[in-house]
């Protein structure tokens, strides 16, 4: 029989007063629980499933449910002293106020897809605020072409499913966001957010019209009460530096009744080099209705190592129009009718989520959160603004084969992206040709395997340097990479933050710092790569 929180509280008090070896976090739990109870009006015994100490049976399952990188899911990974599984907005308010009063670090997690685990690990004593229960989605098709309020803990799959359900009788609608259905909306949108409609519609954050956030003083603010500076900052600057995102109001976008998807693969022996080279001139400049992702991966064919180049695409239109477009613009692709499939937009969402039978499965599959599933991984990112020569590509292909498991994903920009000012949101990379994701996955546990695969990833990153942006070498915030700099939050905090901040935000870093200084001057909302406050005096050299 499960002990109530109240009984646990009494027992931990007795134990801590009688045993010198009592767990040091018992009194922390007591203090937090009492503070939380005072702020929410809920008696401690009613908070068993909300405030979870390490001794709770729910602590580990709740913590593990949304750890998506197995590197941070080991027995030696840093663990929070408490997990707060918020069920309501007042729980979030209380969490902020009580964590601040106890002077602990707070990590906020919506979907857990932060590539370097920043939303749920720390080397300092910390609490985790789990937002996964705050997943409500309210779609209003009567609101100027359709809108939705989306809880920060909702997944993108849940967002797409609810839009599909609600827009059936109003014409087909969608939302321009990521292709992985288990990504949390709070982190995805606040970091900018993009998907396979980026060339048609731009970033996810371009369609955010309102937001609700809990600030450092525990207040719930909407766009009007937070002001345009803070609203701008959380629309691409990440939410975790400024407060806790509760929800976003998003504007829906129209999609055609039928869309077309295709996948074409070629190896080096099948003229992949020519195809990849030409892709750079076509994918960022073709019709905005067409998004062609390019993936490069070393593979073995008939005992010979080679590189496989795969073009995976979404076309917001009919197959016949797509075929004539690419026959003219991209003959090197060799697109055939049998490569293409026409389907509905919601079916294309499932197809992009690696469901090849998207034509027959039901969209309810998008509601599967797939908890407690993680693989060992490392990600890095780059931006390309000048096409890479064939010699350059040949060099990169050789280095890919040397690395063995590393994959590259090229995502083309252009279209709507290049029409929006680079300062309209904190996301500064709109004018680039394409973004590169470096993707390394492995299955072997242990530090030896991790060291080997991390070293290969970093080595390839160095080989990529001549072909990407420089001074700074730009990086995408939602592809979190602690290799590019960490903030120790000491006297040189601003200088440390500027290293990674310029890479993520370019010239927008300065405005983000000003907003941070105004809304969180004591730097409560901080992590390894958060926005710093302005220095009160010049940092010592």
User: CB under 8 Å to 514, separation ≥6 — which residues?
Assistant: 229, 534
Q: Of 259, 325, 299, which is closest to residue 400 (Cα–Cα)?
A: 299
In whole angstroms, what is the distance from residue 208 CA to residue 133 CA? 21
The residues assigned a catalytic role are 479
Place of tokens 């010979």: 304
In whole angstroms, what is the distance from residue 42 CA to residue 36 CA? 8
The strand pairing partners of 184, in sequence order, are 155
Mark residue 238 as left, alpha or beta (left: phi above 0; alpha: psi -120 to 50; beta: remaining).
left
Q: At what angle do helices 390-403 and 447-464 cross, to 10 degrees?
A: 170
Do the beta carbons of residue 206 and residue 197 sit within 8 Å? no
Mark residue 117 as left, alpha or beta (left: phi above 0; alpha: psi -120 to 50; beta: remaining).
left
Mark residue 452 as left, alpha or beta (left: phi above 0; alpha: psi -120 to 50; beta: remaining).
alpha
Task: Determine what percent of the chain falls in helix, strand and coil, rounding each to the nearest 5.
Answer: 40, 20, 40
């Amino acid at each position: 029989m499960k002990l109530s929180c109240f009984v646990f509280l009494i027992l931990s008090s007795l134990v801590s007063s009688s045993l010198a070896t009592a767990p040091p976090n018992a009194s922390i739990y007591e203090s937090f629980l009492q503070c939380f109870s005072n702020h929410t009006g809920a008696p401690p015994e009613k908070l068993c499933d909300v405030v979870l100490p390490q001794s709770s049976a729910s602590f580990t399952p709740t913590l593990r449910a949304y750890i998506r990188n197995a590197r941070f899911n080991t027995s030696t990974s840093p663990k929070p002293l408490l997990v707060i599984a918020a069920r309501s907005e007042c729980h979030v308010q209380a969490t902020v106020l009580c964590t601040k009063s106890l002077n602990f670090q707070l990590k906020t997690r919506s979907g857990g897809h932060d590539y370097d685990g920043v939303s749920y690990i720390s080397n300092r004593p910390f609490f985790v605020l789990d937002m996964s229960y705050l997943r409500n989605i309210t779609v209003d098709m009567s609101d100027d072409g359709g809108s939705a309020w989306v809880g920060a803990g909702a997944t993108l799959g849940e967002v797409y499913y609810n839009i599909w359900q609600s827009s059936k009788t109003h014409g087909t609608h969608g939302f321009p966001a990521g292709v992985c259905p288990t990504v949390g909306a709070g982190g995805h949108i606040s970091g900018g957010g993009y998907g396979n409609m980026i060339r048609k519609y731009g970033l996810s954050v371009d369609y955010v019209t309102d937001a609700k956030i809990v600030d450092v003083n525990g207040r719930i603010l909407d766009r009007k009460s937070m002001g345009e500076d803070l609203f701008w900052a959380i629309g691409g600057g990440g939410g975790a530096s400024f407060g806790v995102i509760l929800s976003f109001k998003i504007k829906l976008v129209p999609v055609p009744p039928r869309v077309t998807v295709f996948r074409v693969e070629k190896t080096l022996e099948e003229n992949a080099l020519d195809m990849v080279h030409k892709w750079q001139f076509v994918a960022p400049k073709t019709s905005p209705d067409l998004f062609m992702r390019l993936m490069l991966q070393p593979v073995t064919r008939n005992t010979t190592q080679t590189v496989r180049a795969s073009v995976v695409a979404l076309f917001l239109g009919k197959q016949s129009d797509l075929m004539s477009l690419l026959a003219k613009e991209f003959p090197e692709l060799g697109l055939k009718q049998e490569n293409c499939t026409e389907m509905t937009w919601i079916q294309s969402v499932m197809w992009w989520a690696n469901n090849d039978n998207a034509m027959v499965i039901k969209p309810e599959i998008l509601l599967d959160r797939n908890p407690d599933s993680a693989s060992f991984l490392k990600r890095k990112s780059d931006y390309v603004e000048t096409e890479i020569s064939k010699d350059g590509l040949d060099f990169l292909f050789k280095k890919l084969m040397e690395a063995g498991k590393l994959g590259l994903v090229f995502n083309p920009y252009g279209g709507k992206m290049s029409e929006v000012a680079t300062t309209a949101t904190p996301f500064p990379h709109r004018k680039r040709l394409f973004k590169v994701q470096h993707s390394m996955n492995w299955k072997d546990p242990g530090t030896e395997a991790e060291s080997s695969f991390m070293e290969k990833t970093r080595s390839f990153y160095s080989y990529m340097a001549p072909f990407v942006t420089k001074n700074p070498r730009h990086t995408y915030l939602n592809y979190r990479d602690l290799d590019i700099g960490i903030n120790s939050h000491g006297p040189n905090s601003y200088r440390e933050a500027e290293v990674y901040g310029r890479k993520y935000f370019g010239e927008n870093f300065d405005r983000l710092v000003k907003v941070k200084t105004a809304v969180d001057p004591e730097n409560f909302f901080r992590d390894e790569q958060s926005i710093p406050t302005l220095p009160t005096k010049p940092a010592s050299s």
